Amino acid sequence: MSNLISMDERSAKALARGSVLRDRRYAIRYPFAADVELINLESGCRAEGVTSDLSMGGCFVCTSRPLPVKSRIGMGVEFIDLDATNHQALSRWLDQLRRNR
């Protein structure tokens, strides 16, 4: 999926701008395990891990080497600017998870 940003990184930027943060969990999350490779688009730093909770808005990634900012073992990742192909794939996965619930 394109343009992933860690929630910690987004939170740090928002705090730097002086905005108040609130919980952004606006979508139902489903248990979902898949291997993932994350790439920080600014630094090129890479991390590998496994997803746990998945929603249309993002997922949680368990990793031993998280992307920076202040994350340790895992991190929340928000999906932004998904192209049509990735959006459709994510929708299909979530539809299947809803049916299997």
Does the pTM of the predicted model rise above 0.85?
Answer: no
- Identity of the residue numbered 86: N
Distance between CA atoms of 88 and 101, rounded to whole angstroms? 20
Rounded CA-CA distance 6/88 in Å is 22
Instruction: Check: CB of residue 63 under 8 Å from CB of residue 73.
Output: yes
Q: Give the residue from 82, 22, 23, 21 showing the smallest Cα distance to 56.
A: 82
Task: Name the DSSP class of 66.
Answer: P
At residue 90, the 3 state secondary structure works out as helix
Q: Specify the CATH architecture of the domain 4-100.
A: Beta Barrel (2.40)
Q: Per residue in 44-97, pLDDT tens? A: 888 889 998 999 999 998 887 766 665 557 778 888 888 999 999 999 999 999
